[in-house]
């Protein structure tokens, strides 16, 4: 997998997973998405990737409200990783929550680049992909 094009989609809604991934592929066919239904699956995958000496993906789109491990718990665990494997990782919260407490809490996590409310416009995703993939190459 070309790590500069790797994107994680962490969301428990299968329809949203599919449509979001399809839009990313339309914007940039080089994007390689990996989908997880909760934070625990994604965290376990990150740990196994790191164990092989590789870094986490450059881009993570993270839902907040999921079963097993929600987005906040995922972030709490992710920030415990060695900075060398996270130094280029950018996390975007993608949530239907418009609660002020969630947007304020997101500001406490340096990995979070922005808080996006569903549905996310294609132009916004295109800008994020262009910016992230340009810096990663």
φ/ψ of residue 60, rounded to 5: -130, 125
| Contact yes or no for 116/94 (Cβ under 8 A) | yes
pTM to 2 decimals?
A: 0.91
Q: Report the residue count for the chain.
A: 137
Burial class (CB in 10 A: 0-12, 13-18, 19+), 102: middle
CATH of the domain at 25: 3.40.50.2300
State how far the Cα of 118 lies from the Cα of 2, in Å rounded to an integer: 28
One DSSP character per residue, 8-50 reads EEE-S-HHHHHHHHHHHHHH-TT-EEEEESSHHHHHHHHHHHH
Q: State the total domains in the chain.
A: 1
Q: Mean pLDDT over residues 12-33, rounded?
A: 94
Q: Cα 79 to chain center, whole Å?
A: 13
State how far the Cα of 103 lies from the Cα of 60, in Å rounded to an integer: 17
pLDDT at residue 137 is higher than 60: no
pLDDT at residue 1 is higher than 50: no
Range of the domain at 129: 3-136
State pLDDT tens for residues 56-115: 788 999 999 999 999 999 999 998 887 766 777 899 999 998 889 999 999 999 889 999
């Amino acid at each position: 997998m070309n790590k500069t094009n790797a994107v994680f989609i962490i969301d428990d809604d299968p329809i949203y997973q599919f449509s979001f991934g399809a839009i990313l592929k339309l914007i940039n066919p080089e994007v390689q998405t990996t989908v997880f239904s909760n934070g625990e699956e994604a965290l376990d995958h990150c740990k196994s990737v790191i164990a092989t000496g590789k870094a986490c993906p450059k881009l993570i789109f993270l839902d907040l409200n999921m079963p097993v491990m929600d987005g906040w718990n995922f972030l709490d665990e992710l920030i415990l990783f060695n900075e060398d494997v996270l130094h280029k990782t950018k996390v975007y919260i993608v949530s239907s929550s418009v609660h002020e407490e969630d947007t304020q809490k997101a500001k406490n996590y340096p990995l979070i680049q922005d808080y996006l409310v569903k549905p996310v416009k294609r132009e916004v995703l295109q800008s994020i992909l262009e910016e992230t993939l340009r810096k990663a190459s």
